Structure 1
């Protein structure tokens, strides 16, 4: 990921959120083909008071 331009978009699909959370700018959570959470990672962390990994675990009961 270090070789890409800062303005590039990289789509990553994973259940291992804790492994990639430090590099995230934006997220989209899909459940049953529908968007259940989307937005800027810093805004979502601030609003929820939780990490993205914690939110993922709550949303998907992981």
Structure 2
């Protein structure tokens, strides 16, 4: 099952505890966001979620 772990900043040490929990886990750093991803960067979060549901693997583009 694909798993998306979005975060404002995803330093490598923050990833380590979760990497073994699922195969195909995808960490997504959302620039300019902290704890409130859906309010701070809704477009970038939406693109990551759409990518998860459609199987897209290319990184989201920054909104212009």
TM-score by length of 2: 0.26
Q: Report the structure, 1 or 2, having the larger strand content.
A: 1
The alignment's TM-score, normalised by the length of structure 1, stands at 0.26
Q: Which has the higher contact order (CA 8 A, sep 6+)?
A: 2
